[in-house]
A and B are shown apart, each in its own frame.
Chain A
Amino acid sequence: DTGVSQNPRHKITKRGQNVTFRCDPISEHNRLYWYRQTLGQGPEFLTYFQNEAQLEKSRLLSDRFSAERPKGSFSTLEIQRTEQGDSAMYLCASSLRPFGYTFGSGTRLTVV
């Protein structure tokens, strides 16, 4: 296990379509986080899981966004009815303790 894996690396979709991203954390990490990073900005927090429980959600996570982490392993982030403003890099991170995040390389979403 070499790190946090995110798939796909790039996704281009038409406005109005649904997209789903996957994050595979480091296997022993029980904490998993999703962030969104737009061009020229720092990452913004979206949501946090501890094991399979979604314990925190940002106001940025509108009703078009949903995240799951079944069985406390991999996680998916789905965006329904995509809008151009959803274009961003979506970053996943995992950790065993509150610190010591390991980030993935991200999924870059482009909505055309």
Chain B
Amino acid sequence: AQTVTQSQPEMSVQEAETVTLSCTYDTSESDYYLFWYKQPPSRQMILVIRQEAYKQQNATENRFSVNFQKAAKSFSLKISDSQLGDAAMYFCAYRSAYYGQNFVFGPGTRLSVLP
């Protein structure tokens, strides 16, 4: 079974600075998808960014980018120019390209943005 680990329960960043959230995963599959989801205090999960494992190029979405290291099974999220609205729980998630429709989520990292 696949597992997702987020080793940083809490992180903080100064407004306008850059922060990197870590994620590692374990799988024996060669093709899969990785995601970062954001869950603000209102608790509705929102997709931040998605990465296909077959793509070598790291995904970017405006101020959000990932560092995908397939061999190391690492998938970190970099948030540039942090804003107060970025404060939330961030979940790393894995989805198989072959089996099932479900996501496997990590335990999350709580990000605080300091003014």
A: which residues have CB within 8 A of B?
Answer: 3, 31, 33, 40-45, 48, 55-56, 58, 89, 91, 93, 98-101, 103-106
- Bound together, the chains give a CA A83 to CA B44 distance in angstroms of 25
Chain B, Cβ-Cβ closest to A58: B102
B: which residues have CB within 8 A of A?
Answer: 4, 33, 42-47, 50, 91, 93, 100-108
New contact pairs (5) apart from A89-B43, A93-B45, A103-B44, CB-CB < 8 Å: A3-B44, A41-B107, A91-B45, A101-B45, A104-B44
Pairs across A and B, CB under 8 Å, 30 listed: A31-B101, A40-B107, A40-B108, A42-B91, A42-B93, A42-B106, A42-B107, A42-B108, A43-B45, A43-B91, A43-B103, A45-B102, A45-B103, A45-B104, A48-B100, A48-B102, A56-B101, A58-B102, A93-B45, A98-B101, A99-B50, A100-B47, A103-B44, A103-B45, A103-B46, A104-B44, A105-B43, A105-B44, A106-B43, A106-B44
Distance (whole angstroms) from the CB of A99 to the closest CB of chain B:
7
Residues of B close to A93: CB separation below 8 A: 45
Chain B, Cβ-Cβ closest to A45: B102
Residues of A close to B106: CB separation below 8 A: 42
Given the known interface contacts A41-B107, A42-B108, A43-B91, the answer about A101 and B101 at a Cβ–Cβ threshold of 8 Å is: no
Leading 5 A-B pairs by shortest Cβ distance: A42-B105, A45-B102, A103-B45, A48-B101, A105-B44
- Bound together, the chains give a CA A3 to CA B107 distance in angstroms of 25
Cβ-defined contact, A33 with B102, below 8 A: yes
Distance (whole angstroms) from the CB of B111 to the closest CB of chain A:
15
- Bound together, the chains give a CA A93 to CA B105 distance in angstroms of 14
Residues of B close to A55: CB separation below 8 A: 101
Cβ-defined contact, B107 with A101, below 8 A: no
Interface centre among A42, A98, A100, A105 (most CB of B within 10 A): A42
- Bound together, the chains give a CA A106 to CA B41 distance in angstroms of 12
Distance (whole angstroms) from the CB of A15 to the closest CB of chain B:
24
Interface centre among B33, B42, B104, B105 (most CB of A within 10 A): B105
